[in-house]
């Protein structure tokens, strides 16, 4: 048996799955100030009359780090950055405690200027006086030689709680995104640590000894312990769960829209022949352009609990949420209250919902029913307008899925898949208004948790070889070995696959679920000096594709 839990900003959904289907499902209100009891409540209700020893896998998705970024609710952190000639790292400033230092390494991994230890010691004192606890350290060509980052970390270690280094982020050469990603790891670490501790405590309380996985932004999983070294990977974990939950129901050889209507936001994504679209460079949220591999998603500030108001006889919905709907003792009218007035929902206080919608109706000069219908239609209109704006934007550039690059492809959806509590009501209304086939997924209210539970472990490895220098390395993995002048593409791929599978096992993967390996990138350059060949530079990136674990096919029927 396996467990999937989706910790949302409004509710936490959890499912207990066996190879025969859903054994149990629960929904609890998320208390962000007490995540321990939120998660413990899920485990308690799921495991009633179940032996904890029967649980073989637990996967959790969360929106906590995403919400922290959106709300700018992150602790200040220190950044120490070195670049050398050719680029000014000041252009990528992440905040008040950002320091550019001397020392540089070139594109071949050779030191051009050393680290100034005294300069670093002076910065340590400034950061300590500012009360900074977490630090990011980035050197421009750290993926070719991380020695400067390692040296600076050594100086910092005894003064700060945790140091994040740029070469652990990715094998890609993108200095600005590496700075932003390292900063993001440091900034969300404290919040993620609280989440980690809450999950561990709740597991211990229920006697669960099984390793726990967390869903990443790319739709794959990693062990919770591994996530402590790269907490930024959990950004967009929640939307990724929506996509993974929708994949089994997507049409083959067609495009589909995925809409997850939550309490606070609606997440939007797309599938091409059942494959999610991919952010090829990495997540971008606000000013943060990262190297975090991610499925292509976007969010709009409208959901079942969005506040409704009338200003100058104009109906406004969201983007703020002040609590639950008035039907559930909330303070303000919401789209959920409109569904009660329309008779679509009945499991709450309809009289209270009517009071809220009546105020809106008075402001619009409509009857209560007319106002509720207008609210419902406007919600659908706002969501679909944003969706088709996304399609136009995507169709203006190359399309990448998790499986391939689709040159010249234009997205043209034939189907909409809806998740979330109000999905059945929205599906009918959207199809009525837009004449596009729209379905609410089976078990749509907990589809995120199902998607998380069934996602397999994914990871990627970037490997560089320089036959002139006689070395092959993947510094983000802590790997370097000598090679001969005859080292070839086949040798590189073989080494990369070995590293990838080892990494996947360390991330908590089942050996039976790591066979779908693909080469994402390969580059080869000749090294020529004075018209004479001296060697070759080879580079590859390989990955385990996102997908579903084996053995639970009946759940997806």
With beta carbons less than 8 A apart as the criterion, state whether 138 and 178 touch.
Answer: yes
Q: Give yes or no for residue 514 having a pLDDT over 80.
A: no
Q: Give yes or no for residue 193 having a pLDDT over 90.
A: no
Out of 319-328, 334-343, 404-413, least confident range: 404-413
pLDDT tens across 3-34, in order?
Answer: 999 987 778 899 999 877 888 999 888 887 78
The last residue of one of the domains, among 445, 478, 506, is: 445
- CB-based contacts of 269: which residues, under 8 Å, 6+ apart? 239, 242, 243, 246, 257, 258, 276, 277, 295, 296, 297, 298
pLDDT tens across 65-84, in order?
Answer: 766 666 566 778 999 999 87
Instruction: Print the domain residue range for 401.
Output: 249-445
Out of 113-117, 497-501, 544-548, least confident range: 544-548
Q: Give yes or no for residue 285 having a pLDDT over 80.
A: no
- Share the mean pLDDT of the chain: 86
- 166 and 267: one domain? no
Q: Give yes or no for residue 129 having a pLDDT over 90.
A: yes
- 468 and 503: one domain? yes
CA distance 109 to 208: 46
Domain-embedded: residue 242: no
Task: Read off the pLDDT of each residue in 285-290 and give the average, rounded to a whole number.
Answer: 72
Domains held by the chain: number: 3
Domain-embedded: residue 451: no
- 135 and 219: one domain? yes
The last residue of one of the domains, among 393, 420, 445, is: 445
- 301 and 417: one domain? yes
pLDDT tens across 425-472, in order?
Answer: 999 999 988 888 999 998 888 888 998 998 888 888 888 898 988 999
- 202 and 299: one domain? no
Domain-embedded: residue 243: no
- 417 and 547: one domain? no
- 155 and 23: one domain? yes
Domain-embedded: residue 310: yes
- 4 and 26: one domain? yes
Q: Give yes or no for residue 35 having a pLDDT over 90.
A: no
Name the E strands within 166-204: none
pLDDT cut 70: percent of the chain above it: 94
Higher pLDDT, 376 or 411: 376
Please state, in angstroms and as integers, the Cα–Cα distance from residue 270 to each residue in 28, 173, 327, 456, 457, following that order.
28, 28, 33, 20, 21
Radius of gyration of the chain (CA): 25
- 32 and 174: one domain? yes
pLDDT confidence of residue 108: 77
For residue 360, give the CATH number of its domain: 3.30.420.40
The last residue of one of the domains, among 203, 235, 267, is: 235
- 231 and 254: one domain? no
pLDDT tens across 319-328, in order?
Answer: 888 888 999 9
pLDDT tens across 81-94, in order?
Answer: 998 777 788 888 88
pLDDT confidence of residue 146: 86
- 266 and 414: one domain? yes
Domain-embedded: residue 453: no
Beta bridge pairs of residue 165:
137
3-class state of residue 63 by DSSP: coil
Domain-embedded: residue 240: no
Task: Read off the pLDDT of each residue in 114-134 and give the average, rounded to a whole number.
Answer: 93
pLDDT confidence of residue 70: 61
Q: 457: number of CA atoms within 13 Å, CB side?
A: 26
pLDDT band at residue 51, thresholds of 50, 70 and 90? confident
pLDDT tens across 213-248, in order?
Answer: 889 888 888 888 888 888 888 888 888 888 888 888
3-class state of residue 424 by DSSP: helix
Task: Read off the pLDDT of each residue in 185-197 and give the average, rounded to a whole number.
Answer: 86
Domain-embedded: residue 435: yes
Domain-embedded: residue 454: no
- 74 and 195: one domain? yes
């Amino acid at each position: 048996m396996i467990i999937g839990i989706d910790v949302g900003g409004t509710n936490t959904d959890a499912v207990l799955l066996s190879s025969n289907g859903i054994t149990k499902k629960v929904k609890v209100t998320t208390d962000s100030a007490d995540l321990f009891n939120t998660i413990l409540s899920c485990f308690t209700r799921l495991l009633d009359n179940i032996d904890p020893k029967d649980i073989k896998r637990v996967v959790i998705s969360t929106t906590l780090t995403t919400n922290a970024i959106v709300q700018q609710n992150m602790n200040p952190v220190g950044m120490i950055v070195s670049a050398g000639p050719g680029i000014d790292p000041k252009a990528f400033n992440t905040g008040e405690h950002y320091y550019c230092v001397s020392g540089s390494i070139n594109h071949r991994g050779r030191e051009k200027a050393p680290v100034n230890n005294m300069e670093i010691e002076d910065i340590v004192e400034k950061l300590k006086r500012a009360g900074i606890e977490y630090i990011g350290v980035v050197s421009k060509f750290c993926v070719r030689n991380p020695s400067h980052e390692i040296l600076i970390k050594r100086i910092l270690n005894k003064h700060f709680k945790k140091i994040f280094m740029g070469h652990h982020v990715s094998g890609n050469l993108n200095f600005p995104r590496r700075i932003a990603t390292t900063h993001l790891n440091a900034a969300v670490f404290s919040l993620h640590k609280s989440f980690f501790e809450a999950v561990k405590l709740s597991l211990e309380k229920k006697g669960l000894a099984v390793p726990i996985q967390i869903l990443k932004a790319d739709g794959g999983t990693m062990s919770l312990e591994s996530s402590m070294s790269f907490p930024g990977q959990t950004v967009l974990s929640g939307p990724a769960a929506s996509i993974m939950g929708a994949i089994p129901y997507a049409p083959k050889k067609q495009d589909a829209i995925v809409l997850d209507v939550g309490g606070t936001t609606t997440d939007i994504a797309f599938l091409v022949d059942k494959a999610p679209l991919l952010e090829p460079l990495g997540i971008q949220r606000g000013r943060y352009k990262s190297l975090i591999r991610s499925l292509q998603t976007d969010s709009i500030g409208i959901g079942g609990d969005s506040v409704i108001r009338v200003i100058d006889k104009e109906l406004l919905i969201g983007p703020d949420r002040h609590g639950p709907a008035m039907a559930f003792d909330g303070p303000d009218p919401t789209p959920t209250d409109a569904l009660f007035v329309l008779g679509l929902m009945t499991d709450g206080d309809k009289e209270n919902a009517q009071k809220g919608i009546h105020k809106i109706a008075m402001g619009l000069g409509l009857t209560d029913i007319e106002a509720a219908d207008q609210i419902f239609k406007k919600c659908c209109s706002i969501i679909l307008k944003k969706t088709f704006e996304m399609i136009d934007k995507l169709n203006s550039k190359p399309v990448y899925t998790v499986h391939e690059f689709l040159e010249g492809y234009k997205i043209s959806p034939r189907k909409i898949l809806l998740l979330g509590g109000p999905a059945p009501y929205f599906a009918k209304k959207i199809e009525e208004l837009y004449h596009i086939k729209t379905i609410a997924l089976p078990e749509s209210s907990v589809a995120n948790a199902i998607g998380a539970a069934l996602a397999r472990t994914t990871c990627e490895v970037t490997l560089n070889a320089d036959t002139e220098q006689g070395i092959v390395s993947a510094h983000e993995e802590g790997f370097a070995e000598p090679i001969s002048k005859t080292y070839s593409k086949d040798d590189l791929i073989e080494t990369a696959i070995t590293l990838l599978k080892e990494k996947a096992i360390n991330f908590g993967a089942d050996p039976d679920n790591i066979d779908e390996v693909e080469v994402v990138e390969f580059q080869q350059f000749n090294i020529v000096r004075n018209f004479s060949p001296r060697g070759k530079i080879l580079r590859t990136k390989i990955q385990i594709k996102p997908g579903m674990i084996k053995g639970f096919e009946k759940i997806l029927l």
